[in-house]
Structure 1
Amino acid sequence: MEELQSALNAHMDQMADLVEKLTAELRSGLNPAYENLVGFFHAIDWKEPWLICLLSFHVALLLLTLLSRKNINFQMCLFLLALGGVYLAERLNSFLAGNWKSFAGQNYFDPRGLFLSVLWSGPLLVIAIIILVNTLFSLCYLIVRWKRAELRHRTRVARGKED
């Protein structure tokens, strides 16, 4: 019985330590994450022409997505292209890591692909999510139109039987 009591106390002490560590991390808040994010963005030379072109590409793609929101077929092509770009990000990172001297001032392309994930895949995923939400809204609108047409048809058929 004494062994069980000591094991239980050891377990309780371990749990208390874990809870204390967790509350200490929660008290520190998002400040460490914010500092890492700010450090990441300060480490990048935003005046490099290829970065300006990359950001312009994402802005143009976002505008194209918003302007073509009524054309579902075109949006599906954009959706597949955006997801294809995300899928090829690892290969693109490897290629750019080997050739960065020809277009960049410093090597941004780490083996884990953090830089490319943030500045290439992240915006493409946001655009894909916008297209997906737009498609869901369009489908809901289409279902409502279909149901209204079905109800009108049933009403006409019911009136035709009354006559």
Structure 2
Amino acid sequence: MERPIRVDEIQGLWTYLTSIDWTDPWFRYLLLFHVICCLTTILIRKKSNIQFIYFGFLIMMVFLSEYINEWAARNYKSFSRQQYFDSNGLFISTVFSTPVLINCLIMVIMWLLNMSKLMSEVRYVKHRSKRKNDSEPIQTSENSTDKVGKKEKGD
């Protein structure tokens, strides 16, 4: 078994990621969690209310990652062959929080695109309504003169 890499030995993200023993069984469950999160993000893309709740859940998971890291550091022997959970939180931030935040970023991008589309539709409807309102006074004034003309003829 390899010696775990110390935080002060890290030269870059790629070096750090390659130092992790990805064959540890619990990584499959972590990967499954991230796949489920990604699929959920995609499946609920048109359900705004559910997205807000899901977004809150994901942000709460990131917020709680410090506590998850502390718990995992104390209990790593029950699910892992190595102690990955450092006090700086680099490991949990890299393999847990970053993918979760990417899902949140995807949702924010979807919201912005949806908002942009809605603003474009509102602008189109306003423009159409303004054109319709601009053309109505002409018709109204013609109709009012016709009525006045008919009254005058009848008198």
TM-score tier (shorter): 0.7 to 0.9
Aligned residue in 2 for 1:129: 105
Q: Report the TM-score when normalising by structure 2.
A: 0.76
User: 2:18 & 2:130 partners in 1: Cα distance?
Assistant: 64
Aligned amino acid, residue 88 of structure 1:
L
Match of 2:22, SS state, is coil
Shift of 1:55: 1.1
Quick check: which one's helix share is greater?
A: 1
Q: Which has the higher contact order (CA 8 A, sep 6+)?
A: 2
Shift of 1:84: 1.2
Asked which structure has the greater CA Rg, the reply is 2
Are 1:139 and 2:115 an aligned pair? yes
Shift of 1:46: 1.4
User: 2:110 & 2:16 partners in 1: Cα distance?
Assistant: 32
Aligned residue in 2 for 1:152: 128
User: 2:15 & 2:138 partners in 1: Cα distance?
Assistant: 76
Match of 2:23, SS state, is coil
User: 2:70 & 2:63 partners in 1: Cα distance?
Assistant: 13
Gaps of 5+ in 1: 1-32
Of residues 36, 56, 67 in structure 2, which corresponds to 1:91? 67
Of residues 23, 33, 46 in structure 1, which corresponds to 2:22? 46
Q: Report the TM-score when normalising by structure 1.
A: 0.73
Of residues 59, 78, 91 in structure 2, which corresponds to 1:115? 91
User: 2:88 & 2:78 partners in 1: Cα distance?
Assistant: 21
Gaps of 5+ in 2: 1-9, 140-155
Aligned residue in 1 for 2:34: 58
RMSD over aligned CA atoms reads 1.9
Are 1:37 and 2:22 an aligned pair? no
